Structure 1
Amino acid sequence: MNKQITVTAAILGMLAVVAGAFGAHALKKVLSPEHLEAWRTAVQYHFYHVFAILFLAIYARDGKEVTWPFIFFLLGIICFSGSLYLLSCRDVLKAPGLVKLGPVTPLGGFFFIVGWGWLAVAVLKAK
């Protein structure tokens, strides 16, 4: 098991739980239903990719190359979920300029796709 990847996944998992709880309790009263749904989507994809990163940590124990899928999953969490977290709260933060982050969300989705594709290639190339 790759210790660095596991620790990163643990920290990201902790942050996903915090974000989910924050959305369910603190933000439920202040966000519109549409923004709250975007927050939930961010938490979901954040969590999905924490589990993917944990898989990479286990898969890496056999010396398999997982660096690039790890980087792309991490970038996906930051760009996809991070931008949705900020976009969801732009009214509460009184920062309408955050709407400019809109194009970052699909970029994060692209990073997720590349990470999964890279993982597939890495598995197929493994002996």
Structure 2
Amino acid sequence: MVLIAHIMGSLYGLLAVVFGAFGAHALKKSLNEQQLKSFETGVKYQMYHAILLLVLGFNFNLETALERFMIYCFIIGIFLFSFSIYGLSISAAKGRKIRILGPITPLGGLLLVIGWALLLYSFIQNLV
């Protein structure tokens, strides 16, 4: 499980840099200010959580069910949250907004919140 956290953290980090550069250069001309801000939000959240996956992989054994579920919440949450924002921003700029992606973004956000709550719970559990 540690290897999965490291691989996904590295992949998401790499893609965040690529998408950030793509947004800053290639999409700057085709997205309006609000769409560009949304795209950048997706990139930021992706990078923050990519770094988190790497840190968790280095600091936890990721052997308990709670730790595994936490990692899956972050991996799936990143994908649903950030990638749905990318899809919404780009499709809206082309005049064909993919509306089905709208409800996916908050679902991804909810998984990220659950991942953070599980991390908090694991810290509290270690205090007791």
TM-score, normalized by the shorter chain, greater than 0.5? yes
Cα–Cα, structure 1 residues 63 and 103, in superposed 2: closer, same or farther, change >3 Å? closer
**Percent of aligned pairs sharing the same letter:** 36
Q: Residues 60-97 of structure 1: CA distance to partner in whole angstroms, max 9, x if unpaired? A: 2485652111111111111111110000001345533x
- Show structure 1 runs of 4+ deviating over 4 A: 62-65
| 114-123 vs 35-44, which moves further | 114-123
Give the alignment of 1:1-127 within 5 angstroms. 2-61=2-61, 66-93=67-94, 95-96=96-97, 98-126=98-126
Q: TM-score, normalised by structure 1?
A: 0.88
For structure 1, the residue ranges without an aligned partner over 5 or more in a row are: none
Q: Which AA in structure 2 matches 1:102?
A: G
Alpha-carbon separation, structure 1, partners of 2:99 and 2:81: 14
Question: What count of residue pairs does the alignment treat as equivalent?
Answer: 126
Q: CA RMSD in A?
A: 2.0
CA deviations 1:2-51 (Å, max 9, x no partner) are 23311221111101111101000100011111100100000011111111
Normalising by structure 2, we get a TM-score of: 0.87
Residue 6 of structure 2 aligns to which amino acid in structure 1? T
Are the equivalent residues in 2 in contact too, given 1:28–1:36 (CA < 8 A)?
Answer: yes
Structure 2 gap segments, 5+ residues each: none
